[in-house]
Amino acid sequence: MADKDIYSDLDQLGQQSAAPTSPDEAKLERVQNPHPDTLYLTRFVCPEFTSLCPVTGQPDFAHLVIDYAPSNWLVESKSLKLFLTSFRNHGSFHEDCTLKVGKEIASLLSPRWLRISGYWYPRGGIPIDVFWQTGDVPDGLYVPDTGVAPYRGRG
């Protein structure tokens, strides 16, 4: 059984938590990596990410893939889910949303490496895909393809 004291500083894990109303209100949390000396990849996939167009207020939809090679910290997954949910009523362009998610996680964790891939569904007939990473992929790190096909419409 895990030592509950090591999780005592977490505000959301194991607690009922309301969804934050904006990314600025959301609180990403981290836990210690039990394997900080091992090079490995962690992947989070959010196939139903939503935000709002800052101009029209209409909803925008994306498929996010977040890959990172942890160092001393792991992102606590419940806090990540709440953070991603906080964008639902947030008006911002695709590039800003994608980079905000990636940079917030990178800032919190200081991972060996992080990449975020944002596959946005068409707005005005044009899909916008946004990619960002913190640097070169570390030697020896297995990074599988994101598995997300480019947008093809009905073709």
Tokens 């946005």 found at: 120
Active-site position among 46, 60, 67, 97: 60
Q: Is 136 a catalytic residue?
A: no
CA angle 123, 81, 6 (to 5 degrees): 155
Listing DSSP states for 34-48 in one string gives S-TTS---EEEEEEE
34: left (phi over 0), alpha (psi -120 to 50) or beta: alpha
Share of the chain residues as helix, strand and coil, in percent rounded to the nearest 5: 20, 30, 50
State how far the Cα of 43 lies from the Cα of 132, in Å rounded to an integer.
15
Kindly report the length of the chain.
155
Question: Three-state SS for 71?
Answer: coil
Q: Is 60 a catalytic residue?
A: yes
Active-site position among 3, 24, 53, 96: 53
Cα–chain center distance at 152 = 24
Catalytic (active-site) positions: 53, 60
